């Protein structure tokens, strides 16, 4: 299946990139503020965003673009600044759980098959 790069698709991908970055920043704040519930809320937001990207674009690129935005926000907010402090600090295992959970959700959403796609056969390729 080839991907046609229409202007609407490009705008949708740029919007997903921005939404991924916003979800990453918001998730960083929520996980640190309300640890058990905030982690669940942030992971559910990622699940919704990644699934929406998959459905809107129609393939794994719709998941990959918001994942890039999410991961860039995660890394930039967690990197130490030249002054030696952090923009946002995290003092617990919640941020590692957010990172691992986000990666697992991204892989799950990227490998989903749509309802109109044929199942994959391991025994006989192409049939």
What number of other Cβ atoms are within 10 A of residue 64's Cβ?
20
Short-list 103, 117, 116, CA closest to 50: 103
Query: Residue 10: is it exposed, middle or buried by C-beta count within 10 angstroms (0-12/13-18/19+)?
Result: exposed
pTM metric for this prediction = 0.79
16 near 53, Cβ under 8 Å? yes
- Condensed to tens digits (0 to 9), the pLDDT of residues 41-96 reads 999 999 999 999 988 888 888 899 999 999 999 888 877 767 766 665 666 787 88
């Amino acid at each position: 299946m080839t991907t046609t790069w229409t202007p609407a698709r490009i705008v949708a991908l740029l919007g997903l990139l921005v939404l991924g970055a916003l979800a990453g920043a918001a998730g960083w704040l929520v996980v640190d503020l309300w640890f058990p519930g905030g982690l669940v809320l942030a992971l559910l937001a990622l699940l919704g965003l990644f699934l929406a990207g998959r459905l809107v674009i129609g393939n794994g690129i719709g998941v990959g673009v918001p994942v890039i935005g999410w991961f860039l926000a995660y890394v930039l907010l967690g990197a130490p600044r030249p002054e030696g402090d952090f923009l946002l600090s995290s003092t617990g295992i919640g941020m590692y759980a957010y990172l691992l959970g986000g990666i697992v959700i991204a892989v799950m959403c990227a490998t989903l098959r749509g309802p109109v796609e044929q199942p994959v056969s391991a025994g006989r390729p192409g049939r």
